[in-house]
Amino acid sequence: MLFELDDEQQEMRDVVRKFAQNEIAPHADSWDDEHHFPREIFKPLAELGLAGLLIPEEYGGLNLSRLMGAIIYEELAQADSSTSTWLSVHNMVAGLINRFGNDEQRQRWLPGMASGDLLGAFSLSEAHAGSDAANLRTSARREGDHYIVNGSKFWVTNAGQADVYTVMVRTDPNGGSKGISTLVIEKDTPGFSIGKIERKMGLNSDPTGELIFENCRVPVSHRLSDEGMGFKIALTALDGGRINIGASSVGLAQAAFDVATRYAKERQAFGKPIGAFQGIQFMLADMAMKIQAARLLVYQAASKYDDGAPDATMSAAMAKCFATDTAMAVTTDAVQVLGGAGYVRDWPVERYMREAKVGQIVEGANQIQRMVIARALLGRLDG
Ligand SMILES: Cc1cc2nc3c(=O)[nH]c(=O)nc-3n(C[C@H](O)[C@H](O)[C@H](O)COP(=O)(O)OP(=O)(O)OC[C@H]3O[C@@H](n4cnc5c(N)ncnc54)[C@H](O)[C@@H]3O)c2cc1C
C-alpha cells in the first residue's frame, strides 16, 4: 500500500509542478476566456516527456506507470484542468496504438506523438450513443484494401486540433458490441471533416466537436487489432482514462482548496478572518478530507492497473466516480468560501467549478461508474 511518493516520483512531480505553475497556470484564465487551444505548449510538454507517457522508449516515449501518470495529471490539473484533459486523451490514444497496433503502425504514429508533432483524439460517442456506446452506427464497409467510412461522431476532445483520431466504427451491422472496430484516421484523409465545435460550460480552451465521414477511404492497414475488437479496445482505454480523469479531478479540487484556504485566512468579517468561524473551518476540513481520500483511491486504482489486479476495472470506476464527485463538491464549496468574490471572474474558483462538472459526465457518466462497481460486487442480476 502506497502512502508516500518515492524519490523518483517526487522528482518527476517537482519537474512537472515547476513547468505547470510557471508556463501553464498564469495563462489558464485567458485561454479559457479566449477559447484558445494552447498548441504552443504541446512541444514543451513533449520535451519533458509528457506527450509519450505510455510510449516505449524506442519510439521516443517515457513508458511510465499509470501511477506516475496519475501524479503528473494531478499536477497539470492544479495549473489547468483543460490542459490535463487534452493531454491525457492524447496519451490514451498513444497507449492504444502501442498496445493494440502492429510494428508498422507504432512506427508510423508513435514517434510523432511522443515528440509533440502529432496530437491524438479518441472518438467513441455518437449523437444517440453516449453511455450506450455499443449502439454506435458510424459504418465502415470493406472495399478491397480500404474501408469506406460514413457517419458522424460527437463530443470529440481535441476535434479539429488533433492529427490522429482513433475512431470506433461499425464493421458488422448485426454484430452488436462485437461488430465494432477501431480505425486510426489521419486528419487530412479525404472524406473526413470537422463539424460543429460545441459551446461549453467549461474546458473552453480545449475544443470538443463533431467528426464527419462522407465516403471516407481509410486503409485497412490503419485498423488496430482484429475486426470486432473495437469495443474491447475502447473499454481498455476507458479504464486508464478513468484513472486520469480521477487524478485531474484531485488536482482541480486541490487548486480550489488552496485558493479557499488562503482566502479564509485573509478575508475579514465581523472583525476576524472568516477562517476563524467554525462554519468555514468545517467546510475546509471536509474539503481536505475528501481530497485526500480521492487521491488515495486514485493512486490505489493506478497501482492496481499497473499490477493487472483482477479488480482494476472496479477500482478505476471507484476512483473516477469518487474523485469527480469530490471535485464538484470541493469547487462548489470553494465558491461558497469566497462568497461574492467566488462568483466573479477575478478569482479562478468559478472556472474550477465549471470545469469540475464535466468530470462527472465524461469517460462514462458517474451513474455508469456506479453500475460498473455494482456489477463487480453483485454480478449481472439482470440476465
Ligand atoms: C467536454 C466533453 C468531452 C468529451 N470528450 C469525448 C471524447 O473525447 N470522446 C468520446 O468518445 N466522447 C467524449 N465525450 C462524450 C461523453 O463520453 C458522453 O457525454 C458520456 O459518455 C455520456 O453520454 P451522453 O452524453 O450521451 O449521456 P446519456 O447516455 O444520454 O446519459 C444521460 C444521463 O442518463 C444517465 N444514464 C444513462 N444510462 C443510464 C443507466 N443505464 N442507468 C442510470 N443512468 C443512466 C447518464 O449517467 C446521464 O446522467 C465528451 C463529452 C463532453 C461533454
pLDDT at 143 over 90: yes
Query: How many A from CA of 372 to the centre of ligand 1?
Result: 15
Between CA 197 and CA 208 the distance in angstroms is 6
Q: Is residue 22 part of a domain?
A: yes
4 — pLDDT class (breaks 50, 70, 90): confident
pLDDT in tens, 251-291: 999 999 999 999 999 999 999 999 999 999 999 999 999 99
Q: Is residue 383 part of a domain?
A: no
Between CA 14 and CA 276 the distance in angstroms is 32
2 — pLDDT class (breaks 50, 70, 90): low
26 — pLDDT class (breaks 50, 70, 90): very high
Cβ–Cβ under 8 Å, residues 153 and 185: no
Pocket test for ligand 1, best of 82, 199, 362, 371 (most atoms within 8 A of CB): 362
Residue 285 grid cell = 476540513
Q: Are residues 222 and 235 in the same domain?
A: no
The CB of 156 under 6 Å from ligand 1? The reply is yes
Q: Is residue 1 part of a domain?
A: no
pLDDT at 382 over 90: no
Report CA dihedral (173, 176, 182, 183) to the nearest 10 degrees: 10
Q: Are residues 78 and 95 in the same domain?
A: yes
The CB of 123 under 6 Å from ligand 1? The reply is yes
Q: What is the CATH number of the domain that holds 295?
A: 1.20.140.10
Between CA 198 and CA 175 the distance in angstroms is 31
The CB of 365 under 6 Å from ligand 1? The reply is yes
Q: Are residues 201 and 276 in the same domain?
A: no
pLDDT in tens, 226-249: 999 999 999 999 889 999 999 999
Give residue 383's pLDDT: 61
Tell me the average pLDDT across 85-102. Answer: 97
pLDDT in tens, 296-310: 999 999 999 999 999
pLDDT at 294 over 60: yes
Give residue 149's pLDDT: 98
Give residue 381's pLDDT: 84
Query: How many A from CA of 8 to the centre of ligand 1?
Result: 37
Q: Is residue 214 part of a domain?
A: yes
The parent domain of residue 294 ranges over 231-378
Q: Is residue 2 part of a domain?
A: no
pLDDT in tens, 151-174: 999 999 999 999 999 999 999 999
The CB of 157 under 6 Å from ligand 1? The reply is yes
Residue 366 DSSP SS3? helix
Q: Is residue 268 part of a domain?
A: yes
State the chain's mean pLDDT as an integer: 97
Boundary of a domain, candidates 227, 253, 274 = 227
pLDDT in tens, 308-343: 999 999 999 999 999 999 999 999 999 999 999 999
Number of domains in the chain: 3
Q: Are residues 357 and 245 in the same domain?
A: yes
Q: Is residue 354 part of a domain?
A: yes
> What b/e readout covers 260-285, taking b as 16+ CB neighbours within 10 angstroms?
bbebbeebeeeeeebbeeeebeebbe
Give residue 380's pLDDT: 84
The CB of 234 under 6 Å from ligand 1? The reply is no
Helices and strands: H and E segment counts in the chain: 12, 10
Q: Are residues 241 and 367 in the same domain?
A: yes
Residue 157 DSSP SS3? strand
Q: Is residue 328 part of a domain?
A: yes
Give residue 1's pLDDT: 56
Q: Are residues 184 and 286 in the same domain?
A: no
pLDDT at 202 over 70: yes
Going 217 to 223 to 228 to 231, the CA torsion angle's sign is: negative
Boundary of a domain, candidates 119, 136, 156 = 119
Q: State in Å, rounded, how far the first CA of the chain is from the last one.
A: 36
Query: How many A from CA of 307 to the centre of ligand 1?
Result: 29
Bridge partner residues of 180 (DSSP): 170
Q: What is the CATH number of the domain that holds 16?
A: 1.10.540.10
Query: How many A from CA of 164 to the centre of ligand 1?
Result: 22
Q: Tell me the CB-side half-sphere exposure of residue 208, using CA atoms within 13 A.
A: 17
Tell me the average pLDDT across 200-216. Answer: 97
The CB of 78 under 6 Å from ligand 1? The reply is no
Q: Are residues 139 and 260 in the same domain?
A: no
Query: How many A from CA of 125 to the centre of ligand 1?
Result: 8
Boundary of a domain, candidates 209, 227, 245 = 227
pLDDT in tens, 53-83: 999 999 999 999 999 999 999 999 999 999 9
Report CA dihedral (344, 348, 354, 355) to the nearest 10 degrees: 170
Residue closest via CA to ligand 1's atom 27 equals 130
Question: What radius of gyration, in Å, describes the C-alpha atoms of the chain?
Answer: 21
